[in-house]
Amino acid sequence: MTLHLKLDNPDEENRLDHMAQGVIGTGANRPDGALKVSGQATYAAEWQRPDMAYGVLVRATVPAGKVEKIDASAVEAMPGIVKVITDPKLLRVPAQGMADAAPAQGNDEVLYFGQPIALVVGDSFEAARHGANHLSVSYLPQEARLDPDAVQTERPEGKQSSQGDLDGVMKTAPVTLDEVWTTPGHNSSAMEPHASMAEWDGDRLTLHGSYQMLKYNRNELADSLGIDPKNVRILSPYVGGGFGSKLGISPEAVAAALAARDLGRPVRVVMPRQQVFETITHRAQCRQRIRLAADETGKLLGIGHDNRVYNLPDEGFAEPVTQATPFTYAAENRAIGQEVATINRVIAGSVRAPGEAIGVPIFENAMDEMAEKLGMDPLEFRLKNIPETPPGQDIPFSSNMLAEALRDGAEKFGWDKRNPTPGAVQEGEWLIGMGMASAVRVNMLMESKARITLTAEGATVETDMTDIGTGTYAILTQIAGELLGLPMEKVTTKLGDTDLPPGSGSGGSFGAASSGTSVYLAAMELRRQIADKLDCDEADLTLKDGQAIAANKTHALADLVGETPFEAEGHIEPGDIASKAFQATFGSHFAEVAVNRHTGETRVRRMLGTFACGRVLNEKTARSQCLGGMTFGIGMALTEEMLFDTRDGHVVNNDFAEYHLPVNLDVPKLEVHFLQERDPYANPMQAKGIGELGICGAAAAVTNAIHNATGVRIRDYPATLDKILPYLP
């Protein structure tokens, strides 16, 4: 039986708060944790077959042009080389998230430096890599567009909006701000590189890969190969981080499948780190212009947020930089816009909270600067401008605890101890400053299915949903355990297999809520089946520790189930709910930094975040999500930057030695707090997304603190020492 819910109306029952097991919300350990730390969780690149061959992708070394000739003969004559695959079905780029169809294919034309154009297959990885290093390719180069600042841009009609008269109020308002910021390219930087092992059984392909959204990935892979999706099975039970980079099928998967079919043996293709940088989606470099107008009391009268991003020709994705701007703060006069440039550079796509990750911190930099102009405390300025309802819409917020998060964070952090005068606090050679920012991220629900089978031994949850390090195994186990009255160890969760019911996939912070709701629905259907058997109402049924209690009688669940397992499927679909309330998650970030007065080096000394995201399903994994987001916030603020060579567009710092993620010493004590919240519009669990909220705004708390420490406004991220040096005494 399937319990299907199309979410048209808010939840009125809040059933999870009335269950007895007491496992939901706790910081239960991950069921997969021990497997991972003991090396028993097999990742894609670890799959072996006795007759497996190894493929290494060959990159284009021009930014634009035609491939004139690929001369495979010399490489194919090398020892250990099996074949050079130059199939036109090779992917030029990875698919964008939820593309559901093949991305651009073909190796006759080069659109960017680093584009895969061939696969060298060998009997060993070393042989294949050596071959790949020496494949002779000649090009007919074409003129390339390499510098996003130097090419023509377009203003897509759908990306511009305005209310009132921003230009007018910018002229008349007593206090205004009009400044431009830039952020660099960011790489997702999942620890596990992209890897696939493909094997065919007749017409059926099995791919062990590392992907976030399997139901789409299956269709993308099948479409790329020109075969029926029914003949494709993808397995991604363990994913070593995604951060957007594994949303869509990527070149190594299609190459492995093509080679395995051609050679009649399994083929594994693992991208070296350099290739991940050169081939996989990155966050585009961005230029943002913010305009603000306020009256003397600090009430915002006008908000303008314009930005410039870029992508390859024919790529539809443009970073939704201003996604949170329409609803975070109130102002009558507004203008939002986007320009998009087309350039020959590695594909741009979803990376760690696309949109808000860079849009919110820059806006929060502007808010900090505006507060200074107004002579107001930055916290007070924000509190004054939080809208009652989403501006320009005639619906309420489903819930909005931004003010509470700001006040809670401020109190716990000790914001009242901040000296508002920049450069006023010094300890030895370090200039000390505090900064804060709001955290905002839209909330989404996606269609998702899951199945639960209940036997005398316990329950098994099954869906093709993925756990990309986020804690999916833990939370789905907890949801089923809570509703079915089973301790965690009696629930087995199976994920990451396209043979299982299609879940939402992991992306956009919607995985826990969407996939979790499908498990919730399946469990509710099982509760109904158990109640039927006991001849009571489901609402009167108490399930706890493997016991069913109804009408003051206790029955062992195992006895009730007996020989025939109970089975149920849950199916959630987003309905009309979005027209009834506007959903987002909110929070606050606070940071204290020390800037060296001699060298301009910035070190974060402490950081605190308070977040409101509906029900927290697992306190530990939720907290880990926020810690990760804040850490990436430190990276965005201080260290992370993709360097491109504007002569050929290639990624210059294509490894972890020179693409600087924060290391342990860059990340001090981070504190995470959650506000108690339930959001009935989100889903019947009343839980919202949390994966991305922690990064949205975090960088601004750091850069605003740099201003408080030094008086320097960082306009060009990251805040490396060379940007600060000229302003130091």
**What are the residues binding another protein (CB under 8 A)?**
59, 61, 79, 126, 129-130, 133, 428-429, 598-601, 603, 638-639, 643, 645, 647, 650, 652-655, 657-658, 660, 662-666, 720-722, 725-726, 728-729
Q: Can you tell me the distance from the alpha carbon of 259 to that of 249, in angstroms, rounded to the nearest whole number?
A: 16
Q: Please tell me whether residue 594 adopts helix, strand or coil conformation.
A: strand
CB 521 within 8 A of CB 4: yes
> What are the Cα distances from residue 473, in Å, to 29, 452, 478?
10, 14, 9
- Least CB distance from residue 655 to another protein, whole Å? 8
CB closer to another protein, 69 vs 647: 647
CB closer to another protein, 316 vs 729: 729
Can you read off the two tokens belonging to residue 420?
A: 């508002």
Phi, psi (rounded to 5 degrees) for 380: -60, -40
Report which residue type is found at 154.
Answer: E
Which of 211, 373, 187 has its CA nearest to residue 283? 187
Q: Can you tell me the distance from the alpha carbon of 137 to that of 148, in angstroms, rounded to the nearest whole number?
A: 28
- Least CB distance from residue 182 to another protein, whole Å? 16
CB 209 within 8 A of CB 465: no
- Least CB distance from residue 636 to another protein, whole Å? 13
CA torsion angle 596 642 691 406 (round to 10): 40
Cis peptide bond prior to 718, omega within 30° of 0? yes
Q: Can you tell me the distance from the alpha carbon of 503 to that of 454, in angstroms, rounded to the nearest whole number?
A: 19
CB 682 within 8 A of CB 445: yes
Q: Can you tell me the distance from the alpha carbon of 655 to that of 652, in angstroms, rounded to the nearest whole number?
A: 9
CB 353 within 8 A of CB 442: no
CB 43 within 8 A of CB 235: no
CB closer to another protein, 480 vs 637: 637
Residues 6+ apart with CB under 8 A from 172: none
- Least CB distance from residue 395 to another protein, whole Å? 45
Chain-centre distance of CA 247, in angstroms? 9
Report angle CA 30, 615, 350 to the nearest 5 degrees: 70
Sequence-ordered alpha helix ranges (H) in 72-226:
73-76, 125-133, 166-172, 214-225
CB closer to another protein, 403 vs 661: 661
Spatial strand order in the sheet of 232-235 = 81-85, 116-122, 53-59, 267-270, 195-201, 204-209, 232-235
Q: Which residue carries 């809670």 as its tokens?
A: 408
- Least CB distance from residue 597 to another protein, whole Å? 8
- Least CB distance from residue 106 to another protein, whole Å? 21
Residue 686 Rama label (left phi>0; alpha psi -120 to 50; beta): left
CB 382 within 8 A of CB 329: yes
Phi, psi (rounded to 5 degrees) for 596: -75, 125
Report angle CA 238, 242, 244 to the nearest 5 degrees: 145
- Least CB distance from residue 518 to another protein, whole Å? 41
DSSP-derived secondary structure letter, 446: -
CB 192 within 8 A of CB 41: no
> What are the Cα distances from residue 13, in Å, to 346, 381, 575, 579, 598?
48, 37, 18, 21, 60
Number of other residues whose CB lies within 10 A of the CB of residue 40: 10
- Least CB distance from residue 272 to another protein, whole Å? 8
**282-283/186-187 β-pairing:** antiparallel
Q: What is the 3-state secondary structure (H, E, C) of 290-315?
A: EEEEECCCCCEEEEEEEEEEEECCCC
Number of other residues whose CB lies within 10 A of the CB of residue 339: 19
Q: Please tell me whether residue 80 adopts helix, strand or coil conformation.
A: coil
CB closer to another protein, 129 vs 407: 129
Q: Is 339 among the residues known to form the active site? A: no
Q: Which residue carries 């939002």 as its tokens?
A: 336
- Least CB distance from residue 122 to another protein, whole Å? 11
CB closer to another protein, 158 vs 729: 729
Sequence-ordered alpha helix ranges (H) in 38-77:
73-76
CB closer to another protein, 367 vs 724: 724
Known catalytic residues are 692
